[in-house]
Amino acid sequence: MSAPLLFDRKLLLARRERARELGAETFLLARVAEELVERLGTVKRNFELALDLGTPDDTLAGLLKNSGQVANIFTSDTLTGDDEVFSLADAKYDLVVSALALQWVNDLPGALVQIRRALKPDGLLLAALVGGETLHELRESFAAAEAEMTGGASPRVSPFAEVRSLGSLLQRAGYALPVIDSDRHTVRYETPFRLFQDLRRMGATNALMERSRKPLTRKIVARAAEIYAERFRDPDGKLRATFDILWVAGWVPHESQQKPLKPGSARMRLADALGTTEKPAGEKPNR
């Protein structure tokens, strides 16, 4: 069974091209790329061959080259394809990285499996994608404006993955030692229209398959901007926009990796380690 199509891939590609023509806004990507390199630096290992999968520009690849931790890095923009088949050689790469791209994949479980196959045993996937409550302010504002003015609402902001679901997906895809965590970036704007402009220049405007094909009216946009300003204004007058970045790390299984102890294999009782006397439940232990 094929994955449901959440995103219009051709439209995503067109939006990315438009963003380049407008002058791409990369402040969020720059932050994420810097942090990804910092996180990789905590792994005490050098990587001979790496793949940057889908990152919108060469920011991350450039930082990795300068880090001295990666000898050779290739970039691939195959995430923009229609079929989401990456055509990657099996067991070729020591490291696969991706920044702010995997959130646009229709079949994320399938993408994680393809990446695992492209990694060598003991190879590492390290990726960052938009998720969580990203742009919840914008979603709420447009939903309220459309409900008020038309009696209904069309999806305007993409659904995003959650930390818990990503952990399950990594395990299902066959990764060992999975680690998932998140960072929240709150960006503040003078007006909602500045946020709209940044999203266009990120190539991140609505590309949902279920989106309404009717253009938004100026009245709905204006009302959504009013609701945004009413509900999400800070005391100094600026407006909040939330971006949650989910971090994904997982290793291809290898015999050298640390493994959890088997149940019952402990050589010391917990009570002995704590220096207490073991007693039935409900009684306080004596030191």
How would DSSP label each residue in 123-147? Answer: EEEEEEEEETTTTHHHHHHHHHHHH
Q: Is the pLDDT of residue 232 over 90?
A: yes
Domain ranges of the chain: 9-255
What is the residue type of 34? E
For 178-231, write each residue's pLDDT tens digit: 999 999 999 999 999 999 999 999 988 888 887 777 778 999 999 999 999 999
Rounded to an integer, the average pLDDT of 5-9 is 82
pLDDT category of residue 278 using cuts at 50, 70 and 90: low
Q: What would be the CATH architecture of the domain defined by 9-255?
A: 3-Layer(aba) Sandwich (3.40)
For 51-73, write each residue's pLDDT tens digit: 999 999 999 999 999 999 999 99
Distance, in Å, from the CA atom of 218 to the CA atom of 195, rounded to the nearest integer, reads 16
For 116-135, write each residue's pLDDT tens digit: 999 999 999 999 999 999 99
Radius of gyration of the chain (CA): 23
Distance, in Å, from the CA atom of 156 to the CA atom of 143, rounded to the nearest integer, reads 8
Distance, in Å, from the CA atom of 118 to the CA atom of 99, rounded to the nearest integer, reads 18
- Going by C-alpha positions, the residue among 241, 235, 238, 225 that lies closest to residue 141 is 225
What pairs with residue 125 in β-bridges?
96, 250
In the numeric block, the tokens 């023509």 are attached to 21
Strands 119-131 and 239-251: antiparallel
**280 Cα distance to chain centroid:** 47
Residue 125 pLDDT: 98
> Using an 8 Å Cβ cutoff, are 250 and 167 in contact?
no
Q: Which residue has the higher pLDDT, 181 or 77?
A: 181
What pairs with residue 127 in β-bridges?
98, 248
> Using an 8 Å Cβ cutoff, are 228 and 239 in contact?
yes
> Using an 8 Å Cβ cutoff, are 95 and 51 in contact?
yes
CB-based burial of residue 101 (10 Å sphere; 0-12 exposed, 13-18 middle, 19+ buried)? buried
Task: Give the Cβ contact number of residue 73 at 10 Å.
Answer: 19
Structure letter (DSSP) for residue 80 = G
- Going by C-alpha positions, the residue among 77, 70, 84, 82 that lies closest to residue 113 is 84
